[in-house]
Chain A
Amino acid sequence: MLTTALIVVPFAGAILVWVLPLSRESTSGLALLVALAEVGLWLGSARNFDFGSEVPQYATTQQWFDELGISYAVGLYGFQFWLVGLTIVVGACVVGYASWAERERPRAYFGLLLFLVGSLVGVFAAQDLIVFYVFFEAMLIPIYVLVGVWGGPQRVKATVTFVIYTMVGSLLMLASIIVLGISQGTFSLAEMGTSTNDWVFLGFLAAFAVKAPLLPFHGWLRIAYTEAPPEVSAILSGLVSKAAVFGLVWIVLPHFPEPVEDFRTLVLVLAAATLAYGSVLAFRQPDIRGVLAYSSMGQMGLIVLGIFAVNDLGLDGAVLHSVNHGLVSAGFFLLAGMIEARAGTGVFSELGGMAKGRPYLATLVMILGMFTLAVPGSTNFAAEFAILAGVFDRGWGYAAIGVLAMVLAALYALRLISAILHERRGSAVREDAGDLVGGELILLVPLVAILAVLTAWPAGITERSFPADEPAAFIGSQEGIGTP
């Protein structure tokens, strides 16, 4: 029941915010209250969560269309618990940012944000393909509107680009879902057996490759991340991309063991290429969000490397890194918004010298920059290390590209830090542009605090992502549970 509650609360909040004719302050206050209640609910669910359990926790299964084998089935395994938690925490920060940024038409805006959070929780909690699909599509609608209405000058183009890509991905996935569900006689992920149909596999793969995105399905990334309001970019890069992680880990790997085997090299090569390509391009971007966008792309490539290593190190690392990357990139996009609010631009040639007299801003840019480049000892480092150690088993070349990307990450992250903070004051940086204020710090400090805890104890997540901490065995055991 608790999982359902986690899904319902944001939706209910969204409707309340839409319907109630409240003032701007009351609207943002109500939205924030809902987001915080959601955080409380999630923390409460952590208390009795059995990470070792072989069955999903707080599960609900309700027959929906009996004869088609469709049911409303939700519930959480460890890795889902972390993805949901990531969504809820980042969601709260984003709502906080939006109330601070004073968006126009606040009721619609906050309604859409909460709707988006609810859909994401639904995606990560799904135990049925149709439930997954419904939430997956539901998640896209608010994004279209949020980017298309509240975005930057090129918002229409950004939206259309994003719509085209996601529609193509979605329709491939829908076709795959229908075929898979009908041929299996059920849409329940737990009861479903395995499939050897390469085309269905590729349909899913394409959808998730767009969402991650993997090379060469990333055409929407740059413009969407740049034109969206910063808090929406934070959700896009931090959370929405993780729908791909969930789909690959929980739909593709368990139900397509043979195609995964057959296409592994292809996917690993694409993922490694994504990692290298994103990192190289991040190094040459002229503005903050450009660096963050391509850095995100590279990191998603890394996560997919871990997933398709299909071993314990790779999978645990991928889950941990999903959480890390979600926190870091969301935090950094919010920070980028705060910087843009001060300078009026995110272009490096007009920034610089912001460290002087702005200790909080400098400290946060530095800390998030260090997590971005996965400084050794950080939780990002732990995750990257696990992923690359895992994929080393599949071929040392992938790991070599991975460590090369680590060097590139150092380059682009240092360039980003220096361009914002160091050397001479940029033309767009006014002398009296202030330091971060309390309302901004309260959004970023929790994210950094969670990263700090994870840095001390990455095993907190890696031990608690899959039953018995044997991800590969667990994923493998999902084959054919329901087949006679």
Chain B
Amino acid sequence: MVFGSWLCLLAPLAGFLAILLLGTRITRRQAGALSTFAVFAGFAGAVIAFVDAWGRDAHDRVEVTTAWTWLQAGDFQAGLTLLVDPLSLVMMLVVTGIGGLIVLYSNGYMAGSDEERRYFAYMSFFVFAMLMLVMGGNLLLLLVGWGLVGLASYLLIGFDHHRPAAVAAAKKAFVVNTIGDAAMALALFLAIAKIGSLDYGTVFSAAEDGVLSDTVVTLLALGLLAGAVAKSAQIPLHTWLPDAMEGPTPVSALIHAATMVTAGVYLICRTHPIFEAAPDIQHLAALLGLATLLVAGLVALVQWDIKRVIAYSTMSQIGYMFLGAGIGAYGFAMFHLVTHAFFKALLFLAAGLVIHHLDGEQDIRKMGGLRRFMPYTHATFLVGSLALVGIPIFAGFWSKDAILASALAYGGSLGWVLYVGGLIGTLLTGLYTFRLYFRVFHGEPAGKAREAAAHHGEGARSMLVPVGVLAVGSTVVGLLAIPGVWEPFETWLEPAVEPLVHPSTGEEWLTSLVAVVLGVLGILLARRAFTAGRELVPDGAVRDTLEHKLWFDELYDAVVSRPAQLVALLLRDRVEAPVVHGGLDEVAEGTLRGAAITGSAQTGLLRTYALAFTVAVAVLTLVFLVTR
């Protein structure tokens, strides 16, 4: 396990460094191959570790290795420690597996773009950072990985740095994420102050043993939750994710769908003892997840950009994961994370095929009828859509319904609110997903789609193969958790994260029935609206509000950005400039004038100082001695 884990972590890092150091000595194509190889080597490492762990006894699947002490001061120390257990193994497999496919796809997608080498260096770096996040054996390394993925995200969103929109989106993402990092950092300071350590084991046992006061535990959980909410684009720190679609499409697939944005879910599962000790905060996570899944689902109904629709869908699906993690259904939340990684990466990559085919067109009003010209893309996109809506046997069906069933089993008013809200979300999912599907693939081609009809082929093989693999995955991976029949995924995770709720088989199948009916209803409504040539949300105040994404951006601009800039300007012009410099200018000019009067400016200056200096020292010495 140890060897595999280090291989998994270090291979992408080696790829990054190699591309960085080799520079222009390798061709763009070679850089892509190197990056792909590095990430798949990481996947091989993850598989080695997984197979090793699989062969062991269920409670012996944990390895902790420390390379060296990273930071030490007095009694505090934090090592460069890896923790490999069933939970991190799942994440390692997803990150390197899906990551490898997406990097492979990038070889075709990015071909011919400027600065491909930089792109592949960043992608390798991202995979390394994400692995650091999920494999780090203490909260400090978690925070490090947390920040580094934010950095990679910043670099990749702003990859086309000559486009102002991309640069602005990159900065926005980085800043919002840094706010989350800052909250997490505060929680970590608190942990150091109260517990003296950031090692998972020490912190968790302190939380479980009740040696910490309620306030401390609540603040700890709150800080971690703030980080999770920012990274996973949940309300109220969600505004950066739609803008992040300015990045290249494979980046959206990898970072802003499959892996990084789901890190918040991983965080809650990893640090669940802290959240369980602060149940109010854990419930808050569930409620934020519910709010996000509904809001994002509604906003997705009115978007015109193919990637933004999928981005809102991502927010919405992560909302389900938060909902699950918030009621202690860790296994199902993680399972939805895995299935979502497959079908959302699939949707993005298929959308990438469309965009690539249409020379960069992303507006779905200028698409349509692509089914005829892009049959392969159409089939795979349809698979992804069905998995997203949760139609049996596709992956989303198994995972999303399990989360909802857990809400039902959780019971109480909270459980019911989450249950009903989540079911409404299923209807919304059907609506926005199939609005998109019909708009893109059915009807008559418009705009660019018509011009592109003459093009042949749907993309390079390096792009089509990953899409195919993901389509197969989106179909079968759900079968790892069939309620009451075969549930290896939950069994695998249980030793690492014991769930708080266990829905009965009956509850699961009942929920599935209702959810499927709602999902199909959504699809049918979307189809009816499409054939009638109507939009799902008619023009008016509601649509207006949704198109403005509930005015969050405007609100933050008015409440945070503008006042902050105003304060900075005021400080610069009204405080710093006149008070400090103005006052000093007079002193300086006075001195120069005085010096000029005494004769030659140079010697006068020196003499004045020498005299003043001696007198002042003498006076001060006296004063100090007397007051002593």
**A→B interface (CB under 8 Å):** 157, 160-161, 163-164, 167, 170-172, 174-176, 178-179, 182-183, 197, 199-200, 203, 216, 218-220, 222-223, 277, 280-281, 283-285, 311-313, 315-317, 353, 355-356, 359, 363, 370, 375-377, 381-382, 385-386, 388-390, 392-393, 396, 399-400, 403-404, 406-407, 410-411, 414-415, 418, 421-424, 457-459, 462-463, 469-472
B627 touches A164 (CB 8 A): no
Interface string of B73-99 (1 = CB under 8 A from A): 111110000000000000000000000
* B71 in the interface (beta carbon within 8 A): yes
A interface majority secondary structure: helix
* B576 in the interface (beta carbon within 8 A): yes
* B542 in the interface (beta carbon within 8 A): no
6 residue pairs A–B, Cβ–Cβ below 8 Å: A161-B584, A219-B580, A219-B583, A363-B20, A406-B178, A471-B73
* B213 in the interface (beta carbon within 8 A): no
* B148 in the interface (beta carbon within 8 A): yes
A399 to B186, CA, bound (A): 7
* B465 in the interface (beta carbon within 8 A): no
A469 touches B73 (CB 8 A): yes
The B167-181 residues at the A interface (CB cut-off 8 A) are 167, 171, 174-175, 178-179, 181
> B214: shortest Cβ distance to chain A, in Å?
17
Shortest 4 CB-CB distances between A and B: which pairs?
A376-B147, A312-B74, A175-B620, A316-B73
* B222 in the interface (beta carbon within 8 A): no
Q: A171-B620, A403-B182 are in contact. List 10 more A-B contacts (CB 8 A).
A: A160-B588, A161-B588, A175-B617, A284-B569, A355-B161, A363-B20, A381-B144, A392-B192, A414-B175, A415-B171
Q: CB-CB < 8 A to A370: which residues of B? A: 151
A388 to B73, CA, bound (A): 13
* B189 in the interface (beta carbon within 8 A): yes
> Of B162, B190, B623, B624, which contacts A422 at CB under 8 A?
B162
Interface string of B616-628 (1 = CB under 8 A from A): 1100110111011
B73 touches A179 (CB 8 A): no
Interface size on B, residues (CB 8 A): 74
A355 to B166, CA, bound (A): 15
B591 touches A164 (CB 8 A): yes
> Of A392, A404, A424, which contacts B189 at CB under 8 A?
A392
The B321-375 residues at the A interface (CB cut-off 8 A) are none
Closest to B24 in A: A359
* B413 in the interface (beta carbon within 8 A): no
A171 touches B617 (CB 8 A): yes
B182 touches A281 (CB 8 A): no
Q: CB-CB < 8 A to A183: which residues of B? A: 625, 628
* B592 in the interface (beta carbon within 8 A): yes
Q: CB-CB < 8 A to B74: which residues of A? A: 311-313, 316, 469-472
* B551 in the interface (beta carbon within 8 A): no
Q: CB-CB < 8 A to B446: which residues of A? A: none
A281 to B588, CA, bound (A): 23
> B100: shortest Cβ distance to chain A, in Å?
23
B613 touches A457 (CB 8 A): no
Q: CB-CB < 8 A to A423: which residues of B? A: 161-164, 167
A167 touches B609 (CB 8 A): yes
A230 to B73, CA, bound (A): 35
Known: A157-B588, A375-B147. A410 touches B161 (CB 8 A): no
* B72 in the interface (beta carbon within 8 A): yes
A393 to B461, CA, bound (A): 58
B175 touches A407 (CB 8 A): yes
Q: CB-CB < 8 A to A157: which residues of B? A: 585, 588
A407 touches B192 (CB 8 A): no
A403 to B184, CA, bound (A): 10
**B→A interface (CB under 8 Å):** 20, 23-24, 68-77, 118, 132, 140, 143-148, 150-151, 154, 158, 161-164, 167, 171, 174-175, 178-179, 181-183, 185-186, 188-190, 192-193, 565, 567-569, 571-572, 576, 580-581, 583-585, 587-588, 591-592, 605, 609, 613, 616-617, 620-621, 623-625, 627-628
> Of A199, A277, A355, A396, which contacts B623 at CB under 8 A?
A199
> B568: shortest Cβ distance to chain A, in Å?
4
A414 touches B171 (CB 8 A): yes
A182 to B20, CA, bound (A): 59
> B249: shortest Cβ distance to chain A, in Å?
21
Q: CB-CB < 8 A to B147: which residues of A? A: 375-377, 381
A312 to B623, CA, bound (A): 35
Q: CB-CB < 8 A to B20: which residues of A? A: 363
> B340: shortest Cβ distance to chain A, in Å?
26
A280 touches B151 (CB 8 A): no
B587 touches A164 (CB 8 A): yes
B193 touches A393 (CB 8 A): yes
A346 to B239, CA, bound (A): 33
A424 touches B624 (CB 8 A): no
B572 touches A203 (CB 8 A): no
> A426: shortest Cβ distance to chain B, in Å?
12
A421 to B162, CA, bound (A): 9
> Of B148, B163, B183, B609, which contacts A163 at CB under 8 A?
B609
B167 touches A418 (CB 8 A): yes
> Of A219, A313, A355, which contacts B192 at CB under 8 A?
A313
A389 to B196, CA, bound (A): 10
Q: CB-CB < 8 A to B620: which residues of A? A: 171-172, 175-176, 203
A172 to B621, CA, bound (A): 9
A223 to B581, CA, bound (A): 9
Known: A175-B621, A200-B624, A457-B70. A377 touches B572 (CB 8 A): no
Q: CB-CB < 8 A to A472: which residues of B? A: 74
Q: CB-CB < 8 A to B609: which residues of A? A: 163, 167
A422 touches B182 (CB 8 A): no
B624 touches A176 (CB 8 A): yes
Q: CB-CB < 8 A to A355: which residues of B? A: 161
> Of B118, B148, B587, which contacts A375 at CB under 8 A?
B148
B189 touches A203 (CB 8 A): no
A353 touches B162 (CB 8 A): yes
> B503: shortest Cβ distance to chain A, in Å?
38
Q: CB-CB < 8 A to A182: which residues of B? A: 625
Closest to B160 in A: A422
Q: CB-CB < 8 A to A385: which residues of B? A: 71, 140, 185, 188
Q: CB-CB < 8 A to A411: which residues of B? A: 171, 175
> Of A197, A284, A312, A459, which contacts B69 at CB under 8 A?
A459
Q: CB-CB < 8 A to B588: which residues of A? A: 157, 160-161, 164
B568 touches A174 (CB 8 A): no
Q: CB-CB < 8 A to B569: which residues of A? A: 284
Q: CB-CB < 8 A to A218: which residues of B? A: 580
Q: CB-CB < 8 A to B591: which residues of A? A: 160, 164
A103 to B162, CA, bound (A): 36
Q: CB-CB < 8 A to B178: which residues of A? A: 406-407, 410
A407 to B237, CA, bound (A): 15
B568 touches A284 (CB 8 A): yes
A219 touches B72 (CB 8 A): no
> A442: shortest Cβ distance to chain B, in Å?
16
Q: CB-CB < 8 A to B565: which residues of A? A: 284
Q: CB-CB < 8 A to A199: which residues of B? A: 623-624, 627-628
A404 to B627, CA, bound (A): 41
Closest to B151 in A: A375
B76 touches A312 (CB 8 A): yes
A375 to B148, CA, bound (A): 7
B193 touches A406 (CB 8 A): no
A287 to B307, CA, bound (A): 37
A400 to B190, CA, bound (A): 11
Closest to B587 in A: A164
A423 to B160, CA, bound (A): 9
A376 touches B148 (CB 8 A): yes
Closest to B621 in A: A175
B581 touches A219 (CB 8 A): yes
Q: CB-CB < 8 A to B68: which residues of A? A: 457, 459
> B169: shortest Cβ distance to chain A, in Å?
12
> B278: shortest Cβ distance to chain A, in Å?
18
B193 touches A280 (CB 8 A): no
> A183: shortest Cβ distance to chain B, in Å?
7
A175 to B72, CA, bound (A): 38
